Amino acid sequence: MHRTFIRPFLAALAAALVLPATASAKIIEVGDIGAKATPSCPTSPCEVISRTTAYQARVGAERKLFVVPEDGRIVAWSVTLGTPGKKQRAFFEENLGGEAQAGITVLRPGTRYFGRVTAASPLETLTPYFGQTVQFPLTTSLDVKAGYIVALTVPTWAPALSLGLGRSSAWRASRAKDACDDTQTQSAQTGVRVLTQYKCAYRTARVTYSATLITTPVVPEPPKKPKSKPRG
C-alpha cells in the first residue's frame, strides 16, 4: 500500500512543540501497535464499516488501544483504506448513502459501554485515497482527557476493515444490541453531546485507523529558594 501524508499542519505543529526543555509534551499515535493491517477490499468478501461510529476494543492481547493515555489534543488522524472494485464501489455508494466518508469522534466512556461525544473532526471524503494510508491534519485540534476513547465515525461507508484475525480481536459499534446485523440503518454519532451505547461487538476484525495525540506539557515547579541564614 502507498502511504500519503497531508502535511499543511506541520509548521504549526512544530511551533507548538517549541517548549521549555523541562516540559514533557509527547507525540503519541493512539491505536498504533506496530502491526500492519490490510483492509479486506477488493478481495471477496469486501467488507466495510458502514453507517456507524466504531472503535477497536482489542487486538490480541492489546487492550484499550484507543483509550487516550494522557490529557492533550488530537492534531491529526490516519486511516488505511482498501481498494474496492468498480462494482463493489457502485454497490456501496448506491446502498449506503454515496461516497466513502469518515472522521474521528472523541467519546467520554460511561458504564455498560455507553459513550458520550465530547468532540468530533470534520468528515473527509475517502475515495481519492483508496489503496493508501492517509493522514488528515485537523485545523482545529480536539481536546481529550486521559481515559477518553477515540472512535471512527462513518456516516456512509469506509473500506477500513481488516478481516481474518483471531477471536481475541474485536471492535465495537454504536448500534442497538438487537440491531448488530443491521449495517444499513444510520447509527453514526455525528452530534456533540450525543450519548449512545456500544453493545455490538464484532470479532476477528480490526478497524484500520489511528489518531495523533500531543500530550499536555507539565509545567515544572519553580525551584525553591534557599532559606537565608539569620544575621548576628
- Surface-to-core class of residue 123, CB atoms within 10 Å of its CB (0-12 exposed, 13-18 middle, 19+ buried): middle
The phi and psi torsions of 124 (rounded to 5 degrees) equal: -120, 140
- CA quadruple 67, 71, 74, 78: dihedral sign: negative
Within a domain: 221: no
Residue with cell 484507543: 66
Among 98-107, 121-130, 148-157, 212-221, the least confident range: 212-221
Provide the number of structural domains found in the chain. Answer: 1
Residue-level pLDDT at 10 = 46
Closest Cα partner for 202 from 158, 170, 169, 177? 170
Are 205 and 59 within 8 A, CB to CB? no
pTM: 0.87
Instruction: Answer whether residue 21 is part of any domain.
Output: no
How deeply is 104 buried, as exposed, middle or buried, from its count of CB atoms within 10 A (0-12, 13-18, 19+)?
buried
Q: SS in 3 state form for 84-123? A: CCHHHHHHHHHHCCCCCEEEEEEEEECHHHEEEEEEECCC
Over residues 37-68, the pLDDT tens digits come to 889 999 888 999 999 999 999 998 888 999 99
Q: Is residue 145 part of a domain?
A: yes
Give CA–CA dist 42/164, Å, rounded: 15
Domain that holds residue 204: 2-8+28-211
Helices (H) and strands (E) in the chain, counts: 2, 16
Please identify which residue in the block is written with the cell numbers 481515559: 147
In a domain, 191, yes or no: yes
Does the residue 228 lie in any domain? no
Looking at the DSSP bridge assignments, the partners of residue 203 are: 170
8-42 pLDDT tens trace = 444 445 444 544 444 688 999 999 977 778 899 99
**Number of neighbouring beta carbons within 10 Å of residue 111:** 5
Is the model more confident about 59 or about 225? 59
With a CB cutoff of 8 Å and minimum separation 6, the contacts of 98 are 156
Inter-residue contact 13 to 143 (CB < 8 Å): no
CA distance 221 to 43: 56
Residue 15 lies inside a defined structural domain of this protein: no
Residue 186 has pLDDT above 70, yes or no: yes
Q: Is residue 146 part of a domain?
A: yes
